[in-house]
Amino acid sequence: MNSDHLASPGDDHGKHPRKLICRFYSSKFDRRNHSSTNIATDTSPHLPVAPGDIQVSTPNDQATPPHKPETATPANVARLVAEALRSETSTPNSVTEKQIVSHPARAHQFVTNPPLTVSQMHPTNPLHQFNTWFRDPRLSASSAPETCTLATASLPSGRVSARVVYLKELDERGWVVYSNWGSRQGKGAQVFGTQADGDSVLGAMPEPGAEDDGMPQGNKWAALTFNWGTVERQVRVEGLIEPLSREESELYWRTRERGSQIGGWASWQSKVLWSAEPDSLIERRRKSLAQDVCPQAIPGDVDETDIDDGRALLEKRVRELEERFANTEEIPLPPFWGGVRLVPESVEFWQGRRSRLHDRFRYVRVHDSQSDSYKWRVERLSP
């Protein structure tokens, strides 16, 4: 992948510090001397962070009322057990069909926002527009607005997979997420390809631009989707993935709590730890459900019905790594773990409207064939 193709207008890639628009995590050490420069209108770094990093609460956060379990009556127990053991194929009966017809499905009516017009959009830069939407005061910290879905696809099959990740940083080149990329069964194989021996995907994260130097080739095209239901908005980003430098990845790695660092080392991400053949667990599960008043709870006879399902192997791996790093003050960054940046080719901003006549504006990167610069074309899309 040509790194020049991914550089911002006027940016001599690799020679000037990247300009930080916003960071979605806080550090246990001061970053004021870091080379990144805030360029957003609102430069406050105090944004919501991913669950498990740093606890954040705001006065506007609304506590979620506790869930009240159903009263455990014989009728409820029988119904719950029947639902849990229901066949995967279910055909509505005549009564159900009548209920469906007499109560037609009503689409959610989007009424939170006024109409979205082009005058409300940033005229030249979708990354600044994203920053504006992300800082909407209606998005509380408890709603974790940095949560997004990362989609990748395998080649040559074209098979797509998606998983939820946390956005950690937005700079002038794109959206940054961090994860384990070393699993042959996971997204690492899709993005970075498999090694010639097929034994693993990555012994180490590639450095930026190293893909052109004999690195295995995967499918660098990917997409991120943000869904902010409370404000009836979505953002869809499509583009190319590029790895961050090890120094950039270590900057975030140092902010993770120790348990998460151990977990990063311990997990063979997406590797199968245990499996069961079809129908081998039906009788065991039926017995467990029949004796329990609520399928969501731990079965009362768990000691009799539970079996090793692979969790013990993971926990054994964790204990081994805790012993390995017992005398290590700073756990090192795993070679297969790090950050990637999704460099956008298109960014769509979606806002709900009544009758499903939604407003959609898309920024499309327009390249200058005579240089490495580019601009953004703005389009309105049909709902």
pLDDT digits (tens, 9 = 90+) for 78-114: 565 555 555 444 566 677 667 666 665 666 678 888 8
Most confident of 70-79, 99-108, 179-188: 179-188
* More confident call, 147 vs 16: 147
**pLDDT at residue 14, as a whole number:** 45
> What is the 8-class DSSP label of residue 211?
G
Burial 286-300 (b: 16+ CB within 10 A, else e): eebbeebbeeeeebe
Tell me if 57 is assigned to some domain. no
CB 295 within 8 A of CB 289: yes
Alpha helices by DSSP H, the chain? 3-6, 74-84, 94-102, 126-134, 187-192, 246-253, 258-266, 282-290, 302-305, 311-324
Tell me if 346 is assigned to some domain. yes
**pLDDT at residue 51, as a whole number:** 38
Tell me if 267 is assigned to some domain. no
**pLDDT at residue 104, as a whole number:** 57
Cα–Cα distance, 243 to 195 (Å, whole number): 17
- Considering only 17-26, 34-43, 172-181, 276-285, which range has the smallest mean pLDDT? 34-43
Token code pair at residue 62: 């609304």
Cα–Cα distance, 31 to 252 (Å, whole number): 11
CB 374 within 8 A of CB 206: no
**pLDDT at residue 33, as a whole number:** 39
Token code pair at residue 375: 């601009």
* More confident call, 75 vs 339: 339
- Indicate which CATH number applies to the domain containing 351: 2.30.110.10
Terminus-to-terminus CA distance in the chain, angstroms?
Answer: 34
Q: Are strands 221-228 and 147-153 parallel, antiparallel or unpaired?
A: antiparallel
The C-alpha torsion from 139 through 142 and 146 to 151, rounded to 10°, is: -110
Tell me if 244 is assigned to some domain. yes
* More confident call, 190 vs 79: 190
Range 343-366 average pLDDT:
95
Q: By residue range, what is the domain housing residue 150?
A: 118-255+335-380
| CB-based burial label for 122 (10 Å; 0-12, 13-18, 19+) | middle
* More confident call, 11 vs 68: 68
Tell me if 343 is assigned to some domain. yes
Average pLDDT, the chain: 75
Q: How many domains does the chain have?
A: 1
Tell me if 63 is assigned to some domain. no
Tell me if 122 is assigned to some domain. yes
Tell me if 192 is assigned to some domain. yes
Beta bridge partners of 361: 349, 380
Q: DSSP for 12-58, please give it.
A: -TTTSPPEEEEES---SS--TTSS-EE-SSS--------TTT-----
* More confident call, 209 vs 243: 243
Can you give the three-state secondary structure of 219-271, one letter per residue? CCEEEEEEEEHHHCEEEEEEEEEEECCHHHHHHHHCCCCHHHHHHHHHCCCCC
Position 212 pLDDT exceeds 90: no
Token code pair at residue 318: 């964790």
Mutual angle of helices 74-84 and 282-290, in 10-degree steps: 170
